Chain A
């Protein structure tokens, strides 16, 4: 079963614009991860934010975490056509470090 929901389900923007995706989850967490999946391929880990962190940056990615609202957001700045992919947040609902439950995902299309 899905741990959370992502919003929006689909997003279409022009190259150079910023893209923001939101994720909500249900249980308390130790960390939250974001993954990218190109069409029909495996997932690639993007960034992990721990429960005691509020914001984290990695290159053009900025992730925020609000544990009081059980929500996270992923911002991709200055988007490129190569950023076209599905983006999933993921948590470990048991906090045992041995499983991931994914949100529904946001399908991002960046038009050149």
Chain B
């Protein structure tokens, strides 16, 4: 199984809502990532989890809160977002330390903040 799944596919939320994005992989990968991608732009790294520990936070605002409950799951909790946070949110995984660096991406969650 070389698939990374993400739910939901689409999400519309108001600026006062709290929602969560979910990501799952069953490849035994020990590194997981959240990226944000605006239209016609490359993905931008937000967070990296390595062996279930947050290892990189690319100065992301606190209204985005990542969580890694176990080695297969990655969540992104959203609260008090702004309209400019509307984007495609991509989850990815890779083998982790010492492994091949190729990342496997999920299909993304298209988020619209109204």
Given contacts A101-B45, A102-B43, contact A42 B106 (CB under 8 A): yes
Interface size class of B (residues with CB under 8 A): 20 to 34
Q: Can you name 27 A-B pairs with beta carbons within 8 Å?
A: A2-B42, A33-B101, A33-B102, A40-B108, A41-B107, A42-B92, A42-B108, A43-B90, A43-B92, A43-B105, A44-B105, A45-B103, A48-B100, A48-B101, A88-B42, A88-B43, A97-B97, A99-B48, A100-B45, A101-B45, A102-B42, A102-B43, A102-B44, A103-B42, A104-B41, A105-B41, A105-B42
Interface size class of A (residues with CB under 8 A): 20 to 34
Within 8 A of B (CB), among A52-80: none
Assembled-state Cα–Cα distance A99/B44 (Å): 10
